[in-house]
Amino acid sequence: MTDQLPGDRESASDAAPPLEAWEVFRQEKEGDPMRHGGSVMAPDAVLAVHYAREMYGRRQESVRLWVVRRADVHDLSDPDLLQPPLDRSFKKPGGYVMRDKLAAARKQEGTAKPSGGRRRGAPPPTSGGRSQKSTGAT
Amino acid sequence: MTTIRATLAAGLDPSTRAALDELLLSMADDEFVIGFSDSEWTGIAPLLEEDVAMSSLAQDELGHAAALYTLLAEVRADGRDADAIAYDRQPDEYRHARLLDHGRGDWAMTIARRYLYDTADGARLEGLVASSFSPLRELVDKIRREERYHVMHATTWLERLAARDGEPRERLLAALEELAPDAATVFAPLAGGERLVESGVLSESMAGLEARWRATITPLFVHLGLPMPQVAVHPDRGRTDHREPFRWLWNEFTSVRRSDPVATW
């Protein structure tokens, strides 16, 4: 938003400027990340900021807003690029998914899962399979 | 119940207190009437976002009016509260500027009226930032921070309507022409106005504030090629003789209150 004077008068035209979608990001308090709040429709950036202020800031719920023309956002949603079909769990910080392989090995050996579990206060097990709840993989 | 603000008001000499009463009533009525007028756009504004924005501005103005009526009730200390002052009067007892007497009209009319009023109100608030009556000074400090956005919003729309030849500009020019004779009525002299200046409640006369207002809006009006508002034709009637559209609005905004004057809400 600006208190400055506008540019020269636009070319004469009766046609109303088309409405565009603008994405609004807001920061709830200083130091927080900017999070997507929603979107507004507006004919230009100045009004988009006005409307963002009314929709996402008038109840003092934001300390900063970012308003971005939706057309300026580069979209990537191709599943071949983002959700490849093969097991890529080795790319995760936890490494390979070991749970299923361990279970198969135990079954073959006829040994049960180590009993007793870990005692209260004991350190967590350090085996390779820590963060493997996320995606099932094969 | 005596508040600090009431005690401060009681300490003023009677002529200053009477003039302060006039000032607070005129300011509160201005905010009250434009707030109700603009709330008529709720549900029918040009687009959803503008609907929310205009309704929010209207609520701000009603909030300012409530704060000013509350302060006035403490200054008067006659047992009547803010609601009684706001609602329990006949149309001719309201002291808002005649600029706000025009009906809602079209969007251009609403924007023209908002721009003229918000900038004039801004000049008046400037005259109160160093007020010797501290309760008003403190309230003005808060109100000004919200009014700053109101001026930005009205300016943004005024620029867009003026810059687009054809219907938008024609409607804006028609609205400014209709409002022109009343544009400066926010600065209509108040009874006891000179006491306000002598006592330091207000920094300078209404005429002086009007000159500042004109200096503020001239660059934009020249830039957009819009006719400057003329000098009020009847400044002595700037806040009286209210027109028919206000009488209709009064009927609306008092209807619930009048339906049961003694109800507790």
Which residue does chain B place closest to A53, by CA atoms? B53
Interface test with B, best of A50, A53, A65, A67 (most B CBs within 10 A): A50
The reply to whether residue A50 touches residue B164, judged by beta carbons under 8 angstroms, is no
Contacts of A24 in chain B (CB under 8 A): none
pLDDT in the model for residue A52: 96
**What residues make up the domain containing B131?**
4-259
- Which residue type is seen at B81? D
Cβ burial A58-87 (10 Å sphere, 16+ → b, else e): beeebeebebbeeeeeeeeeeeeeeeeeee
Residue B212 lies in a domain: yes
H helix or E strand, kind and range, residue B205: none
Q: pLDDT by residue for chain A (138 residues), tens digit each? A: 444 444 444 444 556 778 999 999 999 999 999 999 999 999 999 999 999 999 999 888 999 999 999 999 999 999 888 887 777 777 777 766 777 888 888 888 887 766 555 555 555 555 444 444 444 443
Q: Domains, chain A, ranges and CATH? A: 20-72 (3.10.20.520)
pLDDT in the model for residue B120: 97
Q: Which of B153, B160, B167 sits opposite A14 (nearest CB)?
A: B167
Contacts of A10 in chain B (CB under 8 A): 163-164
The reply to whether residue A10 touches residue B163, judged by beta carbons under 8 angstroms, is yes
Give, rounded to a whole angstrom, the gap between the first and last alpha carbons of chain A: 53
Predicted TM-score of the model (pTM): 0.80
pLDDT in the model for residue B117: 97
Residues of A contacting chain B (CB within 8 angstroms): 1, 3, 5-6, 9-10, 12-14, 19, 40-43, 46-47, 50-51, 53-55, 58
> Which stretches of chain B score pLDDT less than 70?
1
Residue B58 lies in a domain: yes
pLDDT in the model for residue B236: 86
The yes/no answer to whether this complex scores an ipTM above 0.85 is no
Long-range contacts of range B198-202, CB-CB < 8 Å, 24 or more positions apart?
B199/B12, B199/B13, B199/B16, B199/B19, B199/B132, B200/B130, B200/B131, B200/B132, B201/B16, B201/B19, B201/B20, B201/B23, B201/B128, B201/B131, B201/B132, B201/B133, B201/B136, B202/B23, B202/B127, B202/B128, B202/B131
Number of folded domains that form chain B: 1
Q: Which strands sit side by side in the sheet containing A35-42, from one edge to the other?
A: A35-42, A20-27, A64-69
Asked if residue B35 lies in contact with residue B59, where contact means CB atoms within 8 angstroms, the answer is yes
- Mean pLDDT, chain B, integer: 94
The reply to whether residue A47 touches residue B156, judged by beta carbons under 8 angstroms, is yes
Q: What is the CATH number of the domain that holds B131?
A: 1.20.1260.10
Residue B264 lies in a domain: no
Residue B265 lies in a domain: no
pLDDT in the model for residue B206: 96
pLDDT in the model for residue A134: 44
Interface test with A, best of B49, B56, B151, B222 (most A CBs within 10 A): B49
